[in-house]
């Protein structure tokens, strides 16, 4: 058993308390490799933002769970060294399991030093979701690890779970779910979804440049949830904006992304000022990384040193994370 406290992580309790009071959201960025974690730490330290490093079970399979644990530990040490060198304050960092689907997976993450876990029982019937979430909370809280649950089903793909039938969160169920399970935060479904195709073209209108404009998020449901359970921490998954600029660079350099559409940043900005204290972003990083790599290979087809093409990808990621912290989530300066 490795305690996250020994590694230097914090759980999300204090982070969310401050975010709720300050009307901003803490970024939750996924990582699978070294360049992503370097970019997240660099951007969040330089913009003085708290951050949640997210690991999905797909990431665990890809990068190896042991290596991931040491990457997380390395991120803390890198942050401390860079903070000293640059004369900056250290930032709080949580290590979080994204979309945990079993008790055993959550337990294994707690044991290996995660400070926060998500148990996503949203695809189960309500009572099974309650039972599973409660079991994870009981174990995690013994180790002062915070737990995120989910009610309502997002459209799109969550790891191996394909949510074909999305359903908005029912505000009537929220109080009961939170009371019965004891979760510290709740992911809700109000129209966001995972990936780069969040809406079908026929659900959108188009502006004069042909850019798809999606229907707005269901802020009425969010407001109703806030009324039901005032001051409780809400989480938004699937919050990438899928920038048309990144998609254009990808497609101009040999890519084939079709009908991509995300959540406009002004809507995430609005949500971040509400009870939404954690915003999950993964796809935007994937897109900017791919754009930089594709452009590099088009411009310099003879390059074969990974540092030559992953270096610019890392620079693009740093810019994007800083932009999210400073101009969308409001977390910059809140470390």
Whole-angstrom distance, CA of residue 256 vs CA of residue 244: 13
Count of residues in contact with ligand 13P, rule CB under 6 A:
14
- Confirm whether 98 is a catalytic residue: yes
Angle, alpha carbons 97-234-185 (nearest 5°): 50
**Taking contact as CB under 6 A, which single stretch among the options 55-63, 177-185, 209-217, 264-272 is the one that binds ligand G3H?**
55-63
Q: Which of 98, 101, 120, 284 is catalytic?
A: 98
Q: What is the CA radius of gyration of the chain?
A: 19
Q: Which residues contact 294 (CB under 8 A, 6 or more apart)?
A: 249, 250, 253, 254, 255
**Taking contact as CB under 6 A, which single stretch among the options 79-87, 232-240, 250-258, 264-272 is the one that binds ligand 13P?**
232-240
**CA 159 to each of CA 35, 71, 100, 162: distance values in angstroms, whole numbers, following the listed order:** 21, 21, 10, 8
Does 255 engage in binding with ligand G3H (CB under 6 A)?
A: no
**Residues 272-291 as x/- pattern, contact with ligand 13P by CB under 6 A:** --------xxxxx-------
Does 195 engage in binding with ligand 13P (CB under 6 A)?
A: yes
**Taking contact as CB under 6 A, which single stretch among the options 56-64, 165-173, 268-276, 299-307 is the one that binds ligand G3H?**
56-64
Q: What burial class does residue 258 get, using C-beta atoms within 10 Å of its C-beta: 0-12 exposed, 13-18 middle, 19+ buried?
A: exposed
Sole binder of ligand G3H in the list 131, 159, 224, 326 (CB under 6 A): 159
Strand partners, 157: 162
Does 194 engage in binding with ligand G3H (CB under 6 A)?
A: yes
Based on CB atoms, which residue is closest to ligand G3H, 158 or 184? 158
Is 281 in a helix, a strand, or coil? strand
* Residue 87 phi, psi (nearest 5): 65, 35
Based on CB atoms, which residue is closest to ligand G3H, 16 or 31? 31
**CA 120 to each of CA 25, 235, 253, 322: distance values in angstroms, whole numbers, following the listed order:** 20, 12, 37, 28
**Taking contact as CB under 6 A, which single stretch among the options 52-60, 212-220, 259-267, 298-306 is the one that binds ligand G3H?**
52-60
According to CB under 6 A, which residues from 79 to 118 bind ligand 13P? Answer: 98-99
Whole-angstrom distance, CA of residue 220 vs CA of residue 314: 38
Sole binder of ligand 13P in the list 32, 73, 169, 239 (CB under 6 A): 239
Does 150 engage in binding with ligand G3H (CB under 6 A)?
A: no
Sole binder of ligand G3H in the list 25, 26, 28, 59 (CB under 6 A): 59
Does 326 engage in binding with ligand G3H (CB under 6 A)?
A: no
39-78 core/surface letters (b: 16 or more CB in 10 A; e: else): bbbbbbbbbbbbbbbbbbbebbeebeeeebbebbbebbeb
Sole binder of ligand G3H in the list 148, 158, 184, 265 (CB under 6 A): 158
Does 193 engage in binding with ligand G3H (CB under 6 A)?
A: no
Write out the catalytic residue numbers: 98
């Amino acid at each position: 058993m490795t305690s996250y406290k020994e590694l230097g992580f914090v759980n999300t309790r204090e982070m969310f308390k401050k975010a709720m009071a300050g009307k901003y959201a803490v970024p939750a960025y996924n990582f699978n490799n070294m360049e992503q974690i370097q970019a997240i730490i660099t951007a969040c330290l330089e913009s003085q933002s708290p951050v949640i490093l997210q690991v999905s079970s797909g990431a665990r399979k890809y990068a190896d769970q042991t290596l991931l644990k040491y990457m997380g530990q390395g991120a803390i040490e890198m942050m401390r060294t860079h903070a000293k060198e640059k004369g900056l304050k250290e930032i709080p960092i949580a290590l979080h399991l994204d979309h945990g689907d079993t008790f055993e997976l959550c337990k294994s993450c707690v044991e290996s030093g995660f400070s926060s876990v998500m148990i996503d029982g949203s695809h189960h019937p309500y009572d099974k979701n309650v039972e599973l979430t409660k079991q994870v909370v009981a174990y995690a809280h013994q180790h002062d690890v915070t737990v995120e649950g989910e009610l309502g089903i997002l459209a799109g793909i969550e790891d191996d779970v394909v949510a074909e039938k999305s359903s908005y969160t029912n505000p009537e169920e929220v109080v009961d779910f939170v009371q019965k399970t004891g979760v510290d935060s709740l992911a809700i479904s109000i129209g966001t979804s995972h990936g780069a195709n969040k809406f079908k073209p026929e659900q959108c209108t188009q502006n004069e440049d042909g850019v798809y404009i999606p229907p707005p998020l269901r802020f009425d449901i969010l407001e109703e949830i806030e009324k039901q359970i005032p001051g409780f921490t809400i989480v938004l998954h699937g919050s990438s904006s899928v920038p048309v600029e990144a998609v254009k660079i990808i497609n101009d350099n040999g890519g084939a992304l079709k009908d991509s559409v995300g959540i406009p940043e002004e809507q995430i900005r609005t949500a971040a000022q509400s009870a939404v204290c954690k915003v999950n972003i993964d796809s935007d990083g994937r897109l900017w990384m791919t754009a930089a790599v594709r452009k590099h290979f088009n411009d310099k087809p003879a390059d074969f040193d990974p540092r030559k093409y992953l270096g610019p990808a890392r620079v693009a990621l740093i810019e994007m994370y800083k932009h999210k912290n400073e101009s969308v989530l409001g977390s910059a300066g809140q470390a």
